[in-house]
Structure 1
Amino acid sequence: MSLSFKRLPVLLAVLQFSLTSTVRGEEWPQWLGPQRDGVWRETGIVKEFPAGGPPVRWRTKIGGGYSGPAVVGKHVFVTDKQMPAGITNPSDPFDRTKRQATERVLCLSDDNGAILWKHEYDCPYTVSYPAGPRTTPVVQDGRVYTLGSEGHLFCLNEDDGTVIWSKNFRTDYGREQPPVWGYSANPLLDGDRLICLVGGKGQTVVAFHKETGKELWRALDSETEHGPGYGSPIIVEAGGRRQLIVWHPAALSSLDPETGKTFWEEPFTSKAGMSVATPRLSRDKLLISAFYDGALLVKLDPTEPKATKVWRRQGQNERLTEALHCVISTPVIEGDFIYGVCSYGELRGLELASGNRLWSTFEATSKVSARWGSAFLVKQDDRYFLFSEQGDLIIARLSPAGYEEISRAHLLEPTGPAQRREVVWSHPAFAHRNVYARNDLEIISVSLAADPSK
């Protein structure tokens, strides 16, 4: 094959773009990363932190929220809450008295953290634990999708933040109140569909056309004060079909993502609507875990879309637990073992086949027993990065033998109230060989590159 000199500039431009993309590394465009599985696949990452901690690239002041950041290209997206002068969050986080506030969608420069644009809208808060928005932005093809605590869904232009389309779950779908702890289920992009948990009779799950916002289908019922619950949907492939997995307060459900038709359901009632942790898949096994109600493992059929229960473990109460009772943190499955944080902050290792406990430790979360104690787990190569509720980033190995801490650095101060302590309950993003984390005061970018010059 011969090359024309006339095409050389074009080829050089393509090569330059390819090299630039390679240097920037992997992105984090949604909840739990590119494949929605909590795995960070970049290479060239530090083996342990340098003395004094990893270098901070930038810090930017923002407002409150539990929402994690999304990182795409040279942009970082995050949402927060702002309150007028004289208005404060209630001293009791369960107080749902209406308070004036706004929510913001922020686009920051990944180079220096400068705010490039913002979209702000009125959003009086009526939810319990009203720190701010809960869900991570979803970014694809020049569009940014965000869902606020009170049910404001936006599709925004990535370049300037202009509104392409929007929905209001409360007014458009007749919801008198949002779920007790706010809309927390992270939207899922699948083909032309943006799939969201809305709540209500026949509308627990609603699919919108991602470009126009037109409703494509709705499915399932949820009529409690907790609406559709708080867990994020995922897509799995099993039984010869793509299946939309939705865990809501009444059941673990499998739907056809194109039509909303139900394939199968496994009953699982979640007390206080606490279907929170994202369902996790390992080969043909699917796991869910709840604070009060323990864990359930089902096996997906290899030939048709159906499932059978493998085990259900609950324990006597929220303290005397078996297996795993998750709250804030989504567990992980590696091979034949489960690693996750239980109801009072124990990081546990379990056998997948039985749910039997192998070991436990408080070292990665709150150091002591604490209700809803938490840490976020992200796998990278042969180890894990854990972000604790105390604002520590930890490198550790998790194995059937136990928890092996390699390195620890303090990134952020805990700011949010939780059971007589302050916490950071926001999942970080890992992209471009950096970590991006936030509390209720700031968002930071910290380099985790083994060689910062690359």
Structure 2
Amino acid sequence: MKTYSFLAFILIVFTFSCLQKQEISDWRGPNRDGIYNETGLLKEWPENGPEMLWSFEGLGYGHSSVAAANNKVFVTGVNDTIESMGKLFAFNDKGQLLYEKEYGKDFSLNFHGTRSTPVVVGDIIYIESGMGAIYALDANSGNEIWSKDFQTDFGVDSVIQFGNAESVLIDGDHLICVAGGNEKNVVALNRFTGEPVWSCKGEGEIATYNSPILIEHNGKKLVIAMTSASVMGIDAETGEKYWRVEQTQGNKIHANTPIYADGKILVVSAGREKTSGMVQLQLSEDGKSVEEVWRNNRYTNLMGGVIKLDSCFYGSSYMKADWRVMNWKNGETLAENKDFGGGAVIYADDRFYCYAEREGEIALAKATPESFEIVSKFEVPLGTKEHWAHPVIKNGVLYVRHGDALMAYDISAKS
């Protein structure tokens, strides 16, 4: 009996250890929908904002958000050198710099800096550079495990205008990305080795700036991905393309990640064309076709994201003090608030966290189908250039990246 108990104890410890190592940090939260499963957070902030626990200046150029997993915080930046080398910074959750490691050339053209938010799975961190390359790195050291180049390995003609910005998608042992090649448009790789698993042929359209999502619809796994001119539904196991819907935007920017709920897909883009703006698509029972439910090209949200809760979704207009509550069923506006600048939004514990891209302010908001109310706000005190990085919440801490600075705020409710 004692031997059995001891073995059972060892098995539990081993299982727990494996689960701990497999902690994941993904783009815009665990489901890529901007919702963080945190509780016990402040419902309003002090006049000058929540307490700053720590900060770091010297990241270099960058618009990428942080990744937080396994009691570590990761963020990338571009060196201020002619080589424009991308660098990965790793901190412990107290703000101590553990290491900084160059991984390869990153973006130095339009709006200099890193774009892609790293994805962490256990002890591996995955980074897509603005120059169109994927790096799998050891999260404990920053050392390279493998890498792939979109032009060399996937036949992509050139780097897209504003630099690749997607965060790669992880599906079990597979890593999925939208390379944008004619023959190898959407690609699945073995995430441990970088070896090809499948590829989905393109339609002559280049890659765009958002991240794909993985959904399970009536028992079938689909990758919902976008190019510069379309939305696609792809079999996650084989790479077979089931459907494609035209979705256009003048400068070929689709920077918001699609949202899936209730058997429907919501794509939020800018543009006034017939096939632009917001569109909601209804998936067939088997997921192999879609029908357009509604389209709204009067509302413009370029890259701030929206949050879907119950019967509504919430977000701001691009570059405007215009926060909206919108009806999930028809895309119509139910309520507005013009007291805070537009920008990125995430959600946790009954509150919205809004980051105004022009003003550089962070707001805490409460919203219902009838109203959108700003509860508290503060100015971001550190950093440089554009306020584009989406905030991140982990273990009661709000991480805000502004250019070369990273700030960590305590937003937990003290008992």
Determine if the TM-score, normalized by the shorter chain, exceeds 0.5: yes
The 8 Å contact of residues 364 and 375 in structure 2, kept in 1 or not, is answered as yes
- 1:103 and 2:86 are equivalent in the alignment: yes
Counterpart of 1:288?
A: 267
Secondary structure at the counterpart of residue 177 of structure 1: coil
Q: 1:266 to 1:117 in 2, by over 3 A?
A: same
Instruction: Report which stretch shifted further, 298-307 or 236-245.
Output: 298-307
Q: Which moved more, 1:230-239 or 1:179-188?
A: 230-239
Q: Any residues of structure 2 matched to 1:318-397 within 5 Å, and which?
A: 322=298, 324-345=299-320, 346-365=322-341, 374-389=342-357, 390-397=359-366
2:367 is equivalent to residue 398 of structure 1: yes
Counting aligned pairs with the same residue, the percent is: 28
Matched, 1:68 2:55: no
Q: Which runs of 5+ in 2 are unaligned?
A: none
Match of 1:37 among 29, 33, 39: 33
> CA–CA distance in 1 between the matches of 2:35 and 2:79?
32
49-58 or 427-436, larger mean C-alpha shift? 49-58
Match in the other structure for 1:443: 406
Q: C-alpha separation between the residues in 2 aligned to 1:427 and 1:54?
A: 18
Shift in CA distance, 124/396, structure 1 to aligned 2, threshold 3 Å:
closer
C-alpha contact (below 8 Å) 2:117/2:127 kept by paired residues: yes
Give me the whole-angstrom Cα distance separating, in 1, the residues matched to 2:139 and 2:376: 36
Match of 1:411 in 2: 380
Q: Pick from 131, 140, 145: which aligns with 1:159?
A: 140
1:49 pairs, out of 37, 42, 45, with: 45
Q: What does 1:17-28 correspond to in 2, within 5 Å? A: none
Distance 1:441 1:141, change over 3 A: closer
Could you tell me how far 1:179 is from its partner in structure 2?
0.7
Correspondence for 1:114: 96
Residue type of the partner of 1:375? G
Q: Which residue of 1 aligns with 2:280?
A: 297
| Pairwise CA distance, 1:414 | 6.2
DSSP-derived class of the 2:25 partner: coil
Cα distance in 1 for residues equivalent to 2:287 and 2:400: 41
- Equivalent in 244, 251, 254 of residue 272 of structure 1: 251
Q: Distance in 1 between matches of 2:222 and 2:161?
A: 28
What is the total number of aligned residue pairs between the two structures? 404
Q: 1:36 to 1:3 in 2, by over 3 A?
A: farther
1:128 aligns with: 110
Q: Deviations over 1:6-57 (max 9, x none)?
A: 849958x959x89xx8xxxxx7701011222211212221121124321111
Contact 1:60 1:114 in 2 (8 A): no
Compute the displacement of 1:332 (Å).
1.7
Identify the match of residue 219 of structure 1 among 188, 200, 210. 200
Cα distance in 1 for partners of 2:394, 2:239 equals 33
Q: Structure 1-normalised TM-score? A: 0.82
User: Which range moves more in the overlay, 243-252 or 115-124?
Assistant: 115-124
Aligned residue identity for 1:272: N
How far did 1:157 drift?
Answer: 0.8
Deviation at 1:162, TM superposition (A): 1.3
Secondary structure of the 1:271 match is: coil
Q: CA RMSD in A?
A: 2.7
Q: TM-score, normalised by structure 2?
A: 0.89
Deviation at 1:214, TM superposition (A): 0.5
Instruction: Indicate if the aligned counterparts of 1:203 and 1:221 stay in contact, CA closer than 8 A.
Output: yes
Of 121, 127, 134 in structure 2, the residue corresponding to residue 146 of structure 1 is 127
